């Protein structure tokens, strides 16, 4: 059986990605062998369901628009990586903690993302267990043992070189660390630029670990304008209808530094390709021009309870009735974007210009 799987995988690894600019036709071969996903609640597909964590979303109305209902996704429907998986012709990478994720199920990739996770190990600890960035990398290494048994070391090397690593971290290091001085001392210890540099140094270490075990295609998303999420707007730290600029300004050093890091990595590791995803710019564009994208509400969550001026102080409560016009909301809850917004962000990451993805987009990355 192992030999048969190895033979099938060799064929799979050598499939040439198609070059069409639109969605993959049903039945078309995947553009890449697999996608491995690392991140937080924005792209968690259920890992926290299996952890001793307060932060879970495996109940209705989460998943009310997803094909199988609530799964642990912090959205009404698909996440950004779900839609990117579709564009790549892949099945949705299963949650690492899912006990049914064995054998051939890991061949198309695995999702390690965990709600409340950050670049720093201490980030989000007040929410309970979560897979931090460093733990997600360790989890990936355990997946490599499974893959090595399935296809052999040589095939695994080719497979990893063609696969995509998607990383999205940093939001929680601000929301669930630096901006919570009553629980964390980071804001007393570091200035905003120094904290950003700390994050970038730790992030670099883990990215290079993934590179050293064989991954060669990286999409690294920046942090979005978290000063504009309903939760932050509801704090009252900004005038009604405005984002919390002081929070957004903190992110400049991190995002600029992350883009510079991508440039340096591409220069130093020429056998690999690193892409920076301008999440801040893409989300900012949607919020500044909502009507252009079909949105009518950009400052409130569709299902958040009215506990602040912008319905921003809570995630969806169990069995809460969400808004009926979900496609018109940028945000699903106080922290997370809706499926409608995720679709726009995914397509911009996939086919966007250099202002969205630098130096190339995901579609181009898949073709390398």
Q: Which residues are identified as catalytic?
A: 41, 333, 336
Q: How many residues does the chain have?
A: 368
Show the CA angle centred on residue 227, arms to residues 311 and 255, nearest 5°. 145
Extract the tokens encoding 306. 């009215």
* Distance between CA atoms of residues 238 and 247, nearest Å: 10
**CB of 254 within 8 A of CB of 198?**
no
Q: Is 259 exposed, middle or buried (0-12, 13-18, 19+ CB in 10 A)?
A: middle
* Distance between CA atoms of residues 312 and 12, nearest Å: 46
**CB of 33 within 8 A of CB of 99?**
no
């Amino acid at each position: 059986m192992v030999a048969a799987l190895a033979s099938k995988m060799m064929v799979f690894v050598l499939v040439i990605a198609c070059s069409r600019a639109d969605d993959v036709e049903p039945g078309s071969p995947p553009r890449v062998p697999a996608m491995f996903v690392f991140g937080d609640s924005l792209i968690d597909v259920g890992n926290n369901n299996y952890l001793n964590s307060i932060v879970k979303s495996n109940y209705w109305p989460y998943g009310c628009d997803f094909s199988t209902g609530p799964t642990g996704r912090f959205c009404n429907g698909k996440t950004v990586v779900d839609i990117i998986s579709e564009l790549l012709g892949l099945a949705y990478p299963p949650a690492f903690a899912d006990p049914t994720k064995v054998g051939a199920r890991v061949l198309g990739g695995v999702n390690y993302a965990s709600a409340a996770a950050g670049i720093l190990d201490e980030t989000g600890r007040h929410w309970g267990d979560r897979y931090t960035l460093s733990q997600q990398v360790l989890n990936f290494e355990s997946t490599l043992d499974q893959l090595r048994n399935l296809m052999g070391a040589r095939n695994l090397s080719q497979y990893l070189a063609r696969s995509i690593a998607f990383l999205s971290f940093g939001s929680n290091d601000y929301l669930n660390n630096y901006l919570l001085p009553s629980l964390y001392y980071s804001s007393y210890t570091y200035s905003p630029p120094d904290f950003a540099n700390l994050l970038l140094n730790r992030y670099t270490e883990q990215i290079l670990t993934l590179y050293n075990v064989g991954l060669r295609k990286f999409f690294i998303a920046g942090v979005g304008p978290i000063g504009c999420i309903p939760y932050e707007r509801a704090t009252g730290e900004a005038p009604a209808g405005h984002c919390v600029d002081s929070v957004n300004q903190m992110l400049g050093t991190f995002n600029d530094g992350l883009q510079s890091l991508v440039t340096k990595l591409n220069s130093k590791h020429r056998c690999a390709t690193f892409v920076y995803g301008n999440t801040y710019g893409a989300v900012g564009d949607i919020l500044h021009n909502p009507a252009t994208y079909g949105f009518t509400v950009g400052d409130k969550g569709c299902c958040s309870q009215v506990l602040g001026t912008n319905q921003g102080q809570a995630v969806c409560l169990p069995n809460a009735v969400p808004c009926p016009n979900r496609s018109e909301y940028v945000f699903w809850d106080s922290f997370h974007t809706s499926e409608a917004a995720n679709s726009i962000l995914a397509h911009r990451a996939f086919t966007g210009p250099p202002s969205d993805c630098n130096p190339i987009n995901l579609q181009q990355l898949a073709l390398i």
